[in-house]
Amino acid sequence: MLAISGGLDSVVLMHLCNQLKLNIYLAHCNFKLRNQESDLDEGFVIKLSQLSSNQIFTTFFETALVAKKKQISIQIAARELRYNWFQELAQKHQFDVILTAHHLDDSLETFLIHLTRGSGLEGFTGIPSTNGNIIRPLLPFSRAEILEYAIENNLEWREDSSNATTKYLRNNIRHQVIPILKEINPSLLDSFANTIQYLQDAQQIIDDRIDEVSAKISVEKDGMLFFDISKINKLSNPKAYLYQLLKKYQFTEWNNVVDLLTSQSGKQVFSKTHVLLKDRDFLILDKITTKKSDSESFEILEHQSQISNPIFLTFETNSSKNSEARNTISVAKELLKYPLIIRKWQNGDYFCPTGMQGKKKLSKYFKDEKFSLLEKEKTWLLCTVENEIIWVINHRQDSRFLADSTTENSLQITYKS
């Protein structure tokens, strides 16, 4: 699928794809930002699709209203809207890739935008040529080269009048900053392309090193990442390593992240998608999920062989499989009272842990086993209809329901993450 605006670069990319006889579909967004001009752009690409026999998808967005509602810039709103729509089309129609017509000048502008705002190394490696299912085939070429190709092949395109204004930062850089840089160095784009390659090579070395370090200082458990604080502190620059380890999780308050290394247990830092918790000797990373009510519960009927909500469990009668793994228990079926219940823990809960004498409050069990706050929040219980705990799922079974060698009718229950 090719994202087409009707501008020079997207028209050239469409022409190249058709010359190569690629099977492409066109996708055009009308952002309703330039009144009649936006509608004329849409009409132009529809006519272009008819002439080239390429099927086209079109949509429109009230971009200014979306930006105001979300309190973001119009440029960011437009970008989110179009890429979300592109991905929806790709998934619905099973397109292999999404092609966009970004070129070398776009990459230079992006570089300079990041320079003015401040950025880590990844902000200076330019627009990626491939990002998931998004591919940018024209990225090695300058706008001048693309223009020359269009003229040689008698292609028609539309000029976006907003590109001429300096209202937006990108246009300001395009019209006022880059011309001065080109006066200083007429081979600016060639120099920039070389610099981008050097920076991308350096980023690759860093990524390889971070993968190596991450494997040594972190471990995954129950969907969470545990970072060993003592090992982090032995690194040459803990702050720099933390940034590289955690940047993809959208944290922004990096001083607060570093402060977790020396803060008391229980302190947390949040990003839009994740939470980072200090717990004794570890920093624990977990996704932010919609918090379930402590009283929410899920029923399991006697005939069910598996469930997938809120977690995935399987149930096998009289199974001969090994049940010594932490994620599997064997239960005496005659002791079960249906429907079984899955719920989160509550104050006052107790059970009789296997391998221990007598009963124990669940809060005390969590403390003795050094459960973090996040681990406690993520733990599910399997209970009888009378609210007796059968299993602290994936951790410890209640001895009252344990099947042994004399049990004739047993049920094997397995948790799958």
- The model's pLDDT over 37-68, given as tens digits with 9 standing for 90+, comes to 999 999 999 999 999 999 999 999 999 999 99
State the pLDDT at residue 349: 93
Spatial neighbors of 255 by CB under 8 A, at least 6 apart, are none
- Which domains are delineated in the chain? 2-103+118-162 (3.40.50.620), 222-287 (no CATH), 297-416 (3.50.40.10)
Q: What residues form DSSP beta bridges with 411?
A: 317, 331
Taking residues 207-226, report their average pLDDT.
Answer: 94
Taking residues 129-157, report their average pLDDT.
Answer: 96
Give the CA distances from residue 350 to residues 239, 306, 311, 388, 402, in Å, rounded to whole numbers and listed in that order: 42, 26, 22, 8, 16
What does the pLDDT look like over 146-201, one tens digit per residue? 999 999 999 999 988 877 777 778 899 999 999 999 999 999 999 999 999 999 99
The pLDDT > 70 percentage for the chain reads 96
Average per-residue pLDDT for the chain: 91
SS3 of residue 379 by DSSP? coil
Give the integer Cα–Cα distance in Å for 416 and 394: 9
Residue 404 predicted with pLDDT over 80: no
The pair of structure tokens assigned to 361 is: 């409050």
For the whole prediction, is pTM greater than 0.75? no
292 pLDDT tier (thresholds 50, 70, 90): low
Q: Residue 104 CB: number of other CB atoms within 10 A?
A: 23
What does the pLDDT look like over 356-393, one tens digit per residue? 888 999 999 999 998 988 888 889 999 998 889 999 99
Give the CA distances from residue 380 to residues 256, 276, 286, in Å, rounded to whole numbers and listed in that order: 31, 21, 16
Using alpha carbons only, what angle is made at residue 185 by residues 181 and 188, rounded to the nearest 5 degrees? 75
Between helix 36-52 and helix 8-19 the angle, nearest 10°, is 10
Exposed/middle/buried for 109, CB within 10 Å: 0-12, 13-18, 19+? buried
Q: With contact defined as beta carbons under 8 Å apart, do 284 and 222 qualify?
A: no
Residue 29, Cα to own-chain centre: how many angstroms?
A: 24
What does the pLDDT look like over 81-108, one tens digit per residue? 999 999 999 999 999 999 999 999 999 9
